Amino acid sequence: MQYKIEQIGAQFSDKAIGYLEMKLNKNGDSGYKFHSVFQISKPGCLGIGTPTITYLAVFVKDETKQTLS
């Protein structure tokens, strides 16, 4: 199994939702299935600024289930 993790942000405008949809479709076309999303806190600049909240999307590709052409 192969995993892929992408930062997807924390706030979404209508335009950003469309971009996220395209990103998810692109990952699907590459053989990755959406697995889950979780929230993280990223430290501020140089570790002293205000931390920000963002979300990470996890995708998985099960290479053992791929068919041979």
Note down pLDDT in tens along the chain; length 69 residues: 899 999 888 888 888 888 888 888 998 899 999 899 999 988 877 777 888 888 999 999 987 765 555
What is the pTM (predicted TM-score) of this model?
Answer: 0.70
Closest residue by Cα to residue 31 from 10, 67, 56, 62: 62
Q: How many structural domains compose the chain? A: 1
State whether the Cα torsion 5-9-10-11 is positive or negative.
Answer: negative
The confidence score (pLDDT) of residue 43 equals 84
The confidence score (pLDDT) of residue 68 equals 54
The confidence score (pLDDT) of residue 67 equals 55
- Rounded-to-integer distance, Cα 27 and Cα 33, Å: 7
DSSP 8-state class, residue 12? -
The confidence score (pLDDT) of residue 37 equals 92
Expressed as residue numbers, the domain containing 44 is 2-65
